[in-house]
Chains A and B, each alone.
Chain A
């Protein structure tokens, strides 16, 4: 059983649950404490020792159900597959087996008397040598089922059955009864073959599940954002949410660690009076640190809408990390969408910002016009604590780039970070005016995938914290 548990742990790890060796050891000793008699208890035991994040419980449940089959339920299923049990026939068989003291193959014995669960265990035993780890596609099911059945000595079973039939015949049963018994045995044999096939199918499901899960996650993080299908956009939302959570957790830890600073002499001296002027207790100054203010400015024309969506989601999920977040969207007209985020949950606010804000979504993007408008109306509200996070491909449709506006904005703020969802090779080619805008920006990054986006935001949050001491 220990091996099964370890293998199960391997499966969990592949599904990206973090399980340490000590936890694996705990699981083993804990399951030894409770035993295996009750499935629910066993499951709770593994969950308590292995799963330390409540959000991982769902994954755990799914993998557990695939891995530790409900043998009782399986036995029920098998009974159904066999049709109604024939107690009379079973009686006769048992009698003959007892009386004749026959030397039967183990497997025959199992077929005669065994329950579904024992049969399943036998199949597992057989499967060990069959190289199931190479099972990946549905088309392989037949092949591997055959490989497993090759592990069993079918001819021995058939010989045994003949032997039994002869013994029964010798006892003087009439042909009708004999036919019934033979039929019964053959049905059992058939069911066993079917169980082998089912076992392989389940194994495939297990593998497909973990491979699929991992694949989507990896591929999604590296897939160009403009190429996402609607389905993938939906999946991506949860990827972004996870990313946000990770950044936040890391930050919370760091924030606390860095809080202690130099000696607070005033407080220390005041406290020392209690001990006659001896500084028994030393007080440290708490570092005062300002959270960055952030303004996001997103191009929401068709070509970069996905990138904008995820950046907005990420930034607004990290709201606590900034003292203030304001968001603007533009195609050529620019509009503030902050109020949406204050009133709606993030998801809905993003939908609104991408579709319902007071800008014309169908015209051609004009960065120059948007920046000059922004400089005209918002310049006074900018200050040196603010960082601007710009997202756009800088494809200006041959309009006037008006780079002066961006330079003007830069003078008023702490910095401008430009994220470009287009590959670096395209900057400056065709109607791209990235090279004109780049000098006004502190950082210009390619941001084609969610992975890159995460990196940039992570850096932003952390480095700004460090610098802001």
Chain B
């Protein structure tokens, strides 16, 4: 898939994603070793985006499993379409009646019905959920398990089982083995500790806020119409604001939004009034906004 770490870097760049050396190395290893990648980091630094770009770059389909509290196997793996099965048995009542009409005994009738198991427990009545989809896919895919920390630990254990041999056993149908090993990306916001087993199984990648050079490049790439001087000013200001001990420091996606809105407002440089009026794009909590406003001189000191 990739020949070298450099190739990863170039192709991600071409897909408009600035991947640091570290990120490209991990992606390269994941592709080579067929290992899942567990990405941790603050919200909005491009964790999910990485998976999307990966699917772009490798031209594989993306299957996404969004985790939440209460997510279980039924919603992640597969579910029998009970209602449909029930409906079919109702409709076919007569046929079933015929089938067992001349059965001499009850056990005989039961075993005749049992002989028809296949009709009702087949893929026709199975609705595959993201995990099974990823495993049964005819073409190789990228599987994104988003915000795994939101799901319960039991689900994690179950996921681990799926990820370790990429096969699923459905009692009625037998074992389904993956035709292609999917590229798996898991993301976590660190709401809780993940289990050791899962961590052991995965390559670990921690994405932090980018350094100024990378961030500048990201902004240039995502907001190409931005004037050079403004881009520098935006990056300098955002980096300063992150140092202010806010409840939620602005992430990359927020600084992109901010840059975009500044461009729409036709700004050439940052001045205090402009920053104050657009600050909500960048900082989302009332208390944080107050803080930034209080430190505005410091924030804008080096942006001129």
A interface residues (Cβ-Cβ under 8 A, vs B)? 18, 20, 22-23, 26, 29-30, 33-34, 38, 40-41, 44-45, 47-49, 51-54, 57, 249, 252-253, 256-257, 274-276, 280
Contact = CB atoms under 8 A, between A and B. Distances in A.
Contact of B28 (A18, A34, A276): A34
B263 interface: no
Interface in B63-98: 82-83, 86
B192 interface: yes
Contacts of B152: 256
A45 B206 contact: no
B203 interface: yes
B203 A20 contact: no
B192 A275 contact: no
A262 B148 CA distance: 28
A337 to B, nearest CB: 23
Interface stretch (B18-26, B48-56, B128-136, B236-244): B18-26
Contacts, number: 76
Interface magnitude class on chain B: 20 to 34
Contacts of B86: 275-276
Interface in B1-45: 5, 21-22, 25-26, 28-29, 32-33, 35, 38, 40-41
A274 B84 CA distance: 12
A256 B193 CA distance: 13
5 contacts: A33-B33, A38-B21, A48-B29, A52-B38, A256-B154
A208 to B, nearest CB: 28
Contacts of A57: 206
Nearest to B192: A252
A126 to B, nearest CB: 33
A276 B83 CA distance: 11
B60 interface: no
A52 B199 contact: yes
Contacts of B38: 52
Given A41-B5, A275-B86, A52 B204 contact: yes
Contacts of B35: 26
Nearest to B23: A44
Given A30-B33, A48-B203, A48-B205, A280 B82 contact: yes
Contact of B200 (A22, A30, A256): A22
Contacts of A257: 153-154
B5 A38 contact: yes
Contact of B29 (A22, A23, A34, A280): A34
Contacts of B205: 48
A461 B32 CA distance: 45
Contacts of B297: none
Nearest to A33: B32
A30 B153 contact: no
Nearest to B207: A54
Given A22-B200, A54-B40, A256-B154, A40 B26 contact: no
Contacts of B28: 33-34
Contacts of B29: 30, 33-34, 45, 48-49
B25 A45 contact: yes
A22 B86 CA distance: 47
B196 interface: yes
B154 A41 contact: no
A23 B26 contact: no
